[in-house]
Structure 1
Amino acid sequence: MEDKKTKVLMTTDTVGGVWVYSLELCRALAQYNVQVHLVALGAWPSPAQQVEAEKIPNVTFYKSDYKLEWMENPWEDVERSRKWINCIYQTVQPDIVHLNNYAHVEEEWTAPVVTVFHSCVQTWWQAVKGVNAPHEWDRYAKIVKESLEESTVVVAPTEAILKRAKDMHHFTSESKVIYNGRKISSEAQKPKEEFILCMGRMWDEAKNLPLLSKIAERLPWPVYVAGEDINPGTGVKCKFKNIKFLGKLSSKEVQDWMQRASIFVSPTRYEPFGLAILEAAGNGCALVLSNLDTLQELWHDTALFFNPEDEAEAEKTIIRLMESPNFLEELSIKSRERAKNYSAEKMAAGYNSLYREILEKEKNLMSI
């Protein structure tokens, strides 16, 4: 098993954090002799994304613009993508199928299936709206439940989101937590500057960025948001005062801003893990975060927390940190240390161990 390449058929999408997660994992799996056939859905990859994927030596990259199951009127595309992925499966004959979306488990597949619960519409709706998703999402919910139920193992990036997934979808498959990871550059750090950084799409209700806009004028330091202020769905510019939009940044530009920012704020209402928070911590930002169970699990005693529905509490928490340079430095050091727990290397070790464990079980079953 040590010398033999393990072939993994992995899905990803080009429109969210799953892309960053997938590429980090692929790179880190190379040391375990894992060959990944990476299948992209959601939208055609940008030229930069394509170059990024094709640069990874242990990756064979397949691209499409098939809609994902959470997108508007996706079902025709979902059916086409199922057939397309099944063709790739039949050609590649992978040892493991690793799904980062739902709706693609095929009955005739003999390879074990690992499905990662990154998020879902139902848990998002509960967290953001405080109610269950409306009935138009019933078909989607059925697909998610079936996909999780038909998986050999369901992986989640935190204990807290795994519990919510189980409570919501009532699946009985084996489950496991493997924390997401990032490879943080060990380049010399830049001197910290007096500004606040945040990341996210202004029109995404979950990100809750209007809260920052409302309190920004009362904060002594400027607030920068890495992200665009134009809604791609409507073309309408979001009108928020007191914050400076940086637009869509390359990964190198994001790192530059994070290395210089003193404080990283995330006012999100829903966050199964938070790769941007991890990257900010790895670059020495002091963290001020929404008081969510997922974020408490990862960053307890290394960050300050506030109620994402309470502007006054958010403002008070951020100002407390600005007014105490020693405390700010202490949290910066703590967040950088904690970030080491969530490295790309540890994530890959966890997945490689899971793949091998599953394959060993399959081998033993076949020999009975």
Structure 2
Amino acid sequence: MEENKMKILMTTDTVGGVWTYSLELCKALSDHNIQVHLAAMGAWPTEEQEREASKLPNIVLYKSDYKLEWMQDPWEDLEKAHKWITSIYQTIHPDVVHFNNYAHIENFWSCPIITVYHSCVQTWWQAVKGTSAPSTWSRYTALVKDSLNASDMVVSPTNAILEKAVRVHEVKSPTEVIYNGREINFSEEVEKEDFILCMGRIWDEAKNLRVLSGIAKNLPWPVYIAGNNINPNTGKEVEIENVHFLGELSSEEAVNIMQRASIFASPTKYEPFGLAILEAAKAGCALALSDINTLTEVWSSAASFFDPENAEDTQEKILQLIEGKEYRKVMAKKACAQSEAYNLQKMGSEYAALYKRLIVSRKTDINQLTPSL
């Protein structure tokens, strides 16, 4: 390792929460003298994303708009992305490759390979639709399985989602759970206001925000949704009584609205970890969350849980937080305290330790295979 600086080749995507996760991890790894060559796919990074990456001195950013494996007809792009990533690998000779997507892993790559299981179509389909994904996803599913089983280590942000991945994809590789971390700098203390905040696209089945259409009019507080309300299939705007759509927000705008919100609600049916929920907890929101095993694992008694399939239960739990001022304050404090467990220092230390452990293990394996003269 050049000048004792570890070198990581890491993939990321620019169209979801993996981008935030990747930058937060890179920030944490800078304290461990680790340089990250970050290969971005999915879409060209926005100006804001490029600015975010440029602020971190330990990142070398590689940009592309290659499709990700879950996108429509991605296979030609995946072949190009594979050659692109391989060329970066052969140029920089990393100590570890850290995949945040699913990719064909070459046998000639001599360094350890980590694949982080953030989510996949199969576990999404089972959680949201209650059945396995149709056969049209067979090629994708085979890629995910091969990628996970070709890795030296599979990492996941919760035990609950890891167990599903192991079962669905018959994972035989070693596994480890490293909880996500998040660091937010709040400029100043902001007074809480009487409204409920949600995040996500209204047509996203997994986010399940449409459950609000049946209960929002019965709530004494307005509901604000950070996310687009234009249906991509029809081009029409979705309108719901007592629901206000904020559109896509910048990072700064999202932090500001979270600081002002008293309650953060997430009726999601599928959430492997929930970075937005973590951000809301750090911003002092009381949490009203779906009673799904990944979220109960992360938040335990620090959130009010409801059945995401039951509008009446959802409404009741949110009303309890609205009407019980002291209860709401207690729950907000509990959520904020719980959020401290998911910090950058812990995440960075655990990934750095894992990288080092795998490097030592790989060197030991090579030495054992090398005949003595």
> TM class, shorter-chain normalised?
over 0.9
Q: 1:13: which partner in 2?
A: 13
**For the residues of structure 1 that align with 2:264 and 2:104, how far apart are their CA atoms?**
37
Q: 2:104: which partner in 1?
A: 104
Q: 2:241: which partner in 1?
A: 241
**For the residues of structure 2 that align with 1:350 and 1:214, how far apart are their CA atoms?**
43
**For the residues of structure 2 that align with 1:108 and 1:129, how far apart are their CA atoms?**
39
Q: 2:291: which partner in 1?
A: 291
**For the residues of structure 1 that align with 2:16 and 2:101, how far apart are their CA atoms?**
12
Q: 8 Å contact 2:67–2:74 — kept in the other structure?
A: yes
Alpha-carbon distance, 1:186 to partner? 4.9
Q: 8 Å contact 1:197–1:264 — kept in the other structure?
A: yes
**For the residues of structure 1 that align with 2:139 and 2:34, how far apart are their CA atoms?**
35
Amino acid at match of 1:104: H
Amino acid at match of 2:147: S
Q: What's the secondary structure of 2:60's corresponding residue?
A: strand
Give the alignment of 1:329-344 within 5 angstroms: 329-344=329-344
Amino acid at match of 2:148: L
Computed over aligned residues only, the root mean square deviation of the Cα atoms, in angstroms, reads 1.3
Farther off after superposition, 147-156 or 237-246: 237-246
Amino acid at match of 2:283: N
Q: 8 Å contact 2:14–2:44 — kept in the other structure?
A: yes
Is the counterpart of residue 27 in structure 1 residue 27 in structure 2? yes
Alpha-carbon distance, 1:103 to partner? 1.7
Farther off after superposition, 168-177 or 103-112: 103-112
**For the residues of structure 1 that align with 2:22 and 2:32, how far apart are their CA atoms?**
16
Farther off after superposition, 246-255 or 93-102: 246-255
Deviations 1:166-218 (A, max 9, x none): 11000100000000110022543211111000000112110001111221110
Q: 8 Å contact 1:183–1:345 — kept in the other structure?
A: no
Give the alignment of 1:1-368 within 5 angstroms: 4-232=4-232, 235-368=235-368
Q: 8 Å contact 2:156–2:179 — kept in the other structure?
A: yes
Q: What's the secondary structure of 2:305's corresponding residue?
A: strand
**For the residues of structure 2 that align with 1:3 and 1:320, how far apart are their CA atoms?**
57
Deviations 1:94-121 (A, max 9, x none): 0000000002312211111000000000
Amino acid at match of 1:255: V
Q: 8 Å contact 2:114–2:155 — kept in the other structure?
A: yes
Q: 8 Å contact 1:227–1:249 — kept in the other structure?
A: yes
**For the residues of structure 1 that align with 2:111 and 2:32, how far apart are their CA atoms?**
19
How many aligned residue pairs are there?
368
Q: What's the secondary structure of 1:98's corresponding residue?
A: strand
Q: What's the secondary structure of 1:229's corresponding residue?
A: coil
Which residues of structure 1 form unaligned runs of 5+? none
Q: Residues 352 and 278 from structure 1, CA distance in 2 versus in 1: closer, same or farther, beyond 3 angstroms?
A: same
Q: What's the secondary structure of 1:332's corresponding residue?
A: helix
**For the residues of structure 2 that align with 1:130 and 1:13, how far apart are their CA atoms?**
27
Alpha-carbon distance, 1:235 to partner? 3.5
Q: TM-score, normalised by structure 1?
A: 0.98
**For the residues of structure 1 that align with 2:238 and 2:106, how far apart are their CA atoms?**
42
Q: Residues 79 and 236 from structure 1, CA distance in 2 versus in 1: closer, same or farther, beyond 3 angstroms?
A: farther
Q: TM-score, normalised by structure 2?
A: 0.96
Farther off after superposition, 147-156 or 178-187: 178-187
**For the residues of structure 1 that align with 2:233 and 2:214, how far apart are their CA atoms?**
24
Q: Residues 238 and 107 from structure 1, CA distance in 2 versus in 1: closer, same or farther, beyond 3 angstroms?
A: farther
Q: 8 Å contact 2:203–2:210 — kept in the other structure?
A: no
Q: What's the secondary structure of 1:300's corresponding residue?
A: helix
Farther off after superposition, 232-241 or 259-268: 232-241
Q: Residues 234 and 30 from structure 1, CA distance in 2 versus in 1: closer, same or farther, beyond 3 angstroms?
A: farther
Q: 8 Å contact 2:104–2:146 — kept in the other structure?
A: no
**For the residues of structure 2 that align with 1:136 and 1:62, how far apart are their CA atoms?**
31
Alpha-carbon distance, 1:242 to partner? 2.5
Alpha-carbon distance, 1:344 to partner? 1.6
**For the residues of structure 2 that align with 1:228 and 1:250, how far apart are their CA atoms?**
13
**For the residues of structure 2 that align with 1:43 and 1:190, how far apart are their CA atoms?**
35
Alpha-carbon distance, 1:2 to partner? 11
Amino acid at match of 1:297: E
Identity of aligned residues (%): 55
Deviations 1:277-319 (A, max 9, x none): 0000011100000000000000010100001010000001100
Alpha-carbon distance, 1:346 to partner? 1.1
Farther off after superposition, 134-143 or 2-11: 2-11
Alpha-carbon distance, 1:232 to partner? 4.7
Amino acid at match of 2:88: I
Amino acid at match of 1:132: S
Amino acid at match of 2:192: K
Q: 8 Å contact 1:214–1:241 — kept in the other structure?
A: no
Which residues of structure 2 form unaligned runs of 5+? 369-373
**For the residues of structure 1 that align with 2:236 and 2:345, how far apart are their CA atoms?**
41
Deviations 1:1-23 (A, max 9, x none): 79601000000000000000000
Q: 8 Å contact 2:111–2:362 — kept in the other structure?
A: no
**For the residues of structure 1 that align with 2:301 and 2:2, how far apart are their CA atoms?**
40
Amino acid at match of 2:219: L
